[in-house]
Amino acid sequence: MLRLAKRVKTERFQSYRYLISAKTMREVHPIKLNDTETQIRDVLVDFCQHYNSNHTPPLELRITGGWVRDKLLGNESHDIDIAIDHMTGEDFATQLHSWLSSHRPELSLKAIHTIKKNPEKSKHLETCTTKLFGCDIDFVNLRSESYGENSRVPIIKFGSAEEDALRRDATLNALFYNLNQDKIEDFTGRGLDDLKQGILRTPLSPKQTFLDDPLRVLRLIRFACRFKFEIDAETLEAMSEPEIKEALKSKISRERVGIELEKILEGDYPEYGLQLINYLGLAKSIFNAGDQQPLLQQLNEVQDINKLNSGFDKLGHQINLATAVYSKYRLLKGSSNLFSSLRDQRLFWLAVILAPFGDLKLRMNPKKDMKVSGVQILLREGVKFGNKENDIVATLVTNHVNCSKELESYLGEVDQVSDNLNATSLEDVKPMTTSLSRSQIGFYLRKFGSNAQLNLELNCFLEILDRLAECKIETAKPDPNEATRIEPEDTVESIIALTILRYNRLRETIKKLNLSNVDTLKPIVDGKLMIQIVKGMGPEYSKVKGGQWMSGFLEDVLKWQLDHPDGTASEATDWIKQEIPKRNII
């Protein structure tokens, strides 16, 4: 067994859900306002006292939502939402502005913005936003909600504090901080206990809660993997109901689904979020062709549609295996953070999930025979991600399929890593001894631009999944509340550790060859200088202009440059002059 694997041999191979079990009670702290929050509260309470001395019923202000939850967990929060009874947010902000102008002119609100209703972006009520002591604050009235049968757009009415609490997605998100009385209010009766125990449950019937707004399913998953929370069994069961899954596909805009997915994949525990998605059978409700599915059926051959459906059938297994392996992979990598940014983390997981569609191309335009990547279609139509990032994921996944042999030639065979078996860290890994040219590796890396390292991370992980599949190693469908084991454990650890070593050798080789930033390398001779060199070859070349020959020649110059890292522009020019007669330029 490799020493890298031995480091974790005594640990149980288990799902990350088990590692972040919610059974440990969480400490709930009393609300402690910082200096800015204290100033905000004092000003708002002073205004309320002034207003209440002349009006009935009296105003009462409550901070709602994530701020209360985060403060109780001992974390700072800059998301201040203030709910008002008996008055709209806009009316309150307008009167507050008038009072400040007279009594605290130095605090007069510079700007008040009213955000109108926009159900497609989950804005069901006008919200008024402004700044106070440099903090963004949203004002909105307490409300109650009811939903029609075929719409997630709620019917909004003024409501009581209890009604407002009961309409929320989870009891621990329904806690209020009463500014007037300086106290926590738990109108559901379970919010504080659920926060202590790390349990997510809906204030009302979970099935009806999710039918009213199916997006809440993804919101709860997001909170679960952000805070390491467990979802209550009854709530979890409702989330998996076919009616709920269909509502998530048909009643929610794909943009909103994409926003929640983005937050899940950029969270602290994306693998747990994906495990929940898989356990609940939600993958196809998230990753699909949206309203373009009928067009795909119409424009594409039966075998292509069958290939698409085959990819969907593999989604569950792909997510299952990937999430079960990931915690062990990260432990054996010896790094708590594999990615340079949250964006890279998100792109990595999207590529892992959609790898079964890597070689799929489909027609999307009735006027053109051109086919586009199936991965791009699923990201563009299913979750409405932007073209730039869709292209990156599609490039990563497609090249994993199309360039696997090329990459393997750089990695070498498994038995060539024998001199690295005692390595315990990347610093101990010896580079490869390879006959491959510097330009070959350089051009491979340049295919991925600034995402070359992300590409290597992805290929390393996908190779592990492929090798586990070859060994017919399976996992049971993971229950997010139980450990998931992959057997035999020693075989799994060996495959992971050995594959990591292979890629570590390649990384060290890239570093040794000074190719880490090869994507930024520019040709030592540009197009303008190339024309001058060609015309200087003699009268027969005097009328030469740029054309198709130019791009290929410049690429060859870059190849020469990579293979001659210490070469000068003068030496490159000499090489170009030798090459010109061999080229079909005139």
Cβ within 8 Å of residue 360, ≥6 positions away: 304, 307, 308, 311, 373, 374, 375
Helix axis angle for 489-512 and 404-411, nearest 10°, is: 80
**Alpha carbons 520 and 553: distance in angstroms, whole number:** 19
Provide the Cα torsion 285, 291, 292, 297; round to 10°: 80
Q: Is the predicted pLDDT of residue 145 greater than 80, yes or no?
A: no
Contact 37, 31 (CB under 8 A): no
Write out the E strands in 399-514.
none
pLDDT > 90? residue 287: yes
Helices (H), 228-301: 233-239, 242-250, 254-265, 270-279, 283-286, 293-299
Q: Could you report the per-residue pLDDT of 16-75, keeping only the tens digit for each?
A: 344 444 445 788 888 999 999 999 999 999 999 999 999 999 999 999 989 999 999 999
Rounded to a whole number of angstroms, the CA Rg of the chain reads 30
Q: What is the pLDDT of residues 436-484, one digit of tens each?
A: 789 999 999 999 999 999 999 999 999 999 999 887 766 655 566 565 5
All structural domains of the chain: 24-202 (3.30.460.10), 402-520 (no CATH), 527-582 (no CATH)
SS3 371: strand
Rounded Cα distance, 3 and 332, in Å? 10
In order, the DSSP letters of 475-508 are -PPPPTTS----SSHHHHHHHHHHHHHHHHHHHH
Give exposure, 219-246, as e/b (b: 16+ Cβ within 10 Å): bbbbbbbbbbbbbbeebbebbebeebbe
Q: What is the pLDDT of residues 96-120, one digit of tens each?
A: 999 999 999 888 777 777 765 544 4
Strands 80-84 and 135-141: parallel
pLDDT band at 149; cut points 50, 70, 90: low
pTM: 0.86
- 196 contacts 24 by C-beta, under 8 angstroms: no
pLDDT digits (tens, 9 = 90+) for 333-390: 987 678 999 999 999 999 999 999 999 999 999 999 999 999 999 999 999 999 999 9
Fill in the DSSP letter of residue 382. Answer: I
Helix axes 438-446, 548-563, angle to 10 degrees: 120
Decide the pairing of beta strands 61-64 and 80-84. Answer: antiparallel
